[in-house]
Amino acid sequence: MKRAYITFLAVCISLGAFAQLQQPDTSVLLKLPQDPSIIARFKQKLVELALQNPDVRQYDAQKDITKYETRIAKAAWLNHLTAAGNLNEFTIKGNNNGNNPQASFYPRYNFGVIIPLGHFISIPNEVKKAKAQGRVVQKQQESAALIIKDKVLEAYEEYSANKQLVELHGPILEDALVHYNQIEEKFRAGTEGIPLDEYKAAYHDYNVEMVQKVLLEKNLRQSKLALEGIVGMTLEEVMRLL
């Protein structure tokens, strides 16, 4: 009776282990390119897509604003142009056919420009200020682009490393399962020298590797999501763009 119970327990454990192994996580099976040139293109494409991030594109709008401000500052000179004329009945009607030449006023038309002296300093400085602001925005955009690039490459390396860890752990898990199956088969056959404790230890070792598999795949999924969050699309979609 006891032997039958132990055999039943072994079968249940074996079926549980088999069920766990038959449920691979397909979300972590993405195959990265192996050719160095393709890997370089893949990374470059990731960076290009990440630079479309709104946090970076906002600087394009800010640069447009500084261009408009520069034009406004340059146009400020026109606000201070004035024209004056000597307009009266004599300049309109003429000198009455020469009958009264003294009534003519010379110069008949006067035009002038009035610019406060302070504007010779303020307006050029406003123009320089607008241009300087444009350079500041350009530098900010370049800095933001470098930060985004670093984040993309760092996230890629994190994902790539986690993927390799999952792949390297695969054979270890298979070895643990093979060892467990061997012990389980001998135990169910009643082979001497295979006590219950050894059977439990084999299953424990296999279960430890299954736990490690779950943790590694979780880290891989998280790193994949982090990279895709920066890029703005899934890695599968990026690979189709190569």
pTM of the model: 0.67
Distance CA 75, CA 80 (A): 10
Asked whether the bond before 107 is cis by omega within 30 degrees of 0, the reply is yes
| Interval 105-140: pLDDT, tens | 555 555 556 666 666 777 788 888 888 888 888 888
Range 214-219 average pLDDT: 95
If we measure between CA atoms, which residue out of 194, 169, 66, 216 comes closest to residue 127?
Answer: 66
pLDDT in tens, 187-209: 888 767 778 888 899 999 999 99
Extended strands (E) in the chain: none
Q: At residue 130, what is the residue type?
A: A
Least confident of 40-49, 123-132, 171-180: 123-132
